[in-house]
Amino acid sequence: MTDKRERERERKGGEAKTEPRSNNDWESIFLTPLQESDITSIYEWQNSPSLRDLTMGFRFPIQLDTAKDWLKNVREQNSKSRVVFAIRHKSHLVGTISLHSIEQYQRKSLFGIYIGDTAHRNKGIGYVSTCLILDYAFNGLDFRKVSLEVINNNPNAIALYERIGFVKEGTRRQEYFVDGKYIDTHMYGILKEEFKIKPPKTANRLLHTL
């Protein structure tokens, strides 16, 4: 009962969570610019059915040149409508994370993430990376809200988002077709004041710590 009250207090505006779980390797996780040398991995991940369908990605074959054009477009749209980072564990590329559909005047954006390297999944990298980019969005860019859409058949992602503080805002019934079925998708959002996680001093933040 006490735990339930504590979660409710935090949801309504309690103190910041200053002690993230100790098993998360904050020191080794970096969000960095994507490089030309990352293209091969991105090309492989964009063509992986399991990853593509979990993240509602482009469903048709993607050529290597198309992946290169995608990276070029990321550079051209940098800070205008989206910002995309490589997720690196130490120096190893393991995935990407982004703020996209940025609305500068509304101070909000959509959010996307995937861990493409299967050997680095379920190791806390998604949690740390999401916290780092939300810290950047709210405390570096002064966004007021970040939203996302997730398929119903991705319980690990849903659990991660809810743990961080995202609030379910609605369901789109039979919104997404995959493996012969139409499945629901869920809309989540987090406001600046709802983000209670304070990265530790060892975290590789995307802004200067005062």
Confidence of residue 68 (pLDDT cuts 50, 70, 90): very high
Residue 8: predicted pLDDT: 52
pLDDT greater than 80 at residue 154: yes
Q: Cβ distance 158 to 150 under 8 Å?
A: yes
Please give the domain boundaries of the chain with CATH numbers for all domains: 30-194 (3.40.630.30)
Per-residue model confidence as pLDDT tens digits over 171-181: 999 999 999 99
Residue 106: predicted pLDDT: 97
> Average per-residue pLDDT in the chain?
90
Residue 80: predicted pLDDT: 86
Q: Whole-angstrom distance between the N-terminal and C-terminal Cα of the chain?
A: 37
DSSP tag of 167: E
Q: Cβ distance 9 to 16 under 8 Å?
A: no
For the segment 44-53, the average pLDDT, to the nearest whole number, is 91
At residue 187's C-alpha, the angle toward residues 204 and 19, to 5°, is 30
Confidence of residue 136 (pLDDT cuts 50, 70, 90): very high
For the segment 45-62, the average pLDDT, to the nearest whole number, is 90
